[in-house]
Amino acid sequence: MATASLTGRERTFPDDEIIVSKTDRGGRLTYVNDVFLSVSGYTEDEVITRPHSIIRHPEMPRCIFKLLWDTIQAGQEIFAYVNNRAKSGDHYWVFAHVTPTRNLQGDIVGYHSNRRSPRRGALAKVVPLYAALLAIEANAADRAHGLEASLQHLTALLAREGKTYEQFVFDL
């Protein structure tokens, strides 16, 4: 299923709504709520069993997803600002809270994500940071070096601020 070209139009959703999705360990969608469907423009049949990356916007730096995946696969929660791509090619920003889902034995069996409407003031800081990270990734000799360079840039920024990534996003 092809996603439409980028439109440059932003979709928003009310502050009192939450986008919810669940995936298996491999990131394939197992559940989405009505808000997910409404904002993304997909039907449930189009997304269930598909990779969550179906909504990945190409202007999201890969280093943010690496940080996200490394954190949740280690059994920890993460909060992050994410730009998603709707089926139409529109985009929508979210403030995501992603947590591992565990079985009775404590093993990670999947992931649960709640996404809220982002604070506009935070986006004013996130958008230029993500653009800089994306440019670092794009200007590297190859994908691996680009990912490493953008992670180093982000790590250096956090070190200068004296904050963890979670502290950084909550302070925006």
- Report the CATH number that the domain containing residue 76 is assigned in CATH: 3.30.450.20
pLDDT above 90 (res 111): yes
161 within a domain of the structure (yes/no): no
Q: Is residue 1 part of a domain?
A: no
The answer to whether position 137 is within a domain reads no
**CA distances to 49, 66, 122 from 144, in Å:** 28, 12, 29
Q: How many CA atoms lie within 13 A of 76 on its CB side?
A: 10
- pLDDT score, position 4: 76
Distance CA 98, CA 114 (A): 7
Residue 147 lies in a domain: no
Q: Is residue 105 part of a domain?
A: yes
Reading across the β-sheet that carries 108-116, which strands appear in turn?
Answer: 29-32, 19-24, 108-116, 91-102, 78-85
Amino acid identity of 145? Answer: H
**Residues 13, 19: contact at Cβ < 8 Å?**
yes
**Is residue 148 a part of any domain in this protein?**
no
d(CA 98, CA 38) in angstroms, rounded, equals 20
Q: Burial-class residue 94 by CB neighbours within 10 Å (0-12, 13-18, 19+).
A: buried
Beta bridge partners of 78: 98
Q: At what angle do helices 143-161 and 62-73 cross, to 10 degrees?
A: 70
**pLDDT over threshold 60, residue 2:** no
pTM for the predicted model, two decimal places: 0.93
Distance between CA atoms of 95 and 10, rounded to whole angstroms? 15
Mean of all residue pLDDT scores within the chain: 96
pLDDT per position as a tens digit, 31-78: 999 999 999 999 999 999 999 999 999 999 999 999 999 999 999 999
Report yes or no on 126 lying in a domain.
no
Q: How far is it, in rounded angstroms, from Cα 74 to Cα 62? A: 18
Is 70 exceeded by the pLDDT of residue 3? Answer: no
The strand pair at 19-24 and 91-102 is best described as unpaired
In a domain, 7, yes or no: no
Write down the pLDDT at residue 25.
95
For the cut 70, the answer to whether the pLDDT of residue 91 exceeds it is yes
Task: Let me know the angle formed at the C-alpha of 5 by 45 and 61, rounded to the nearest 5 degrees.
Answer: 90
Domain that holds residue 56: 19-118
| Domain count of the fold of the chain | 1
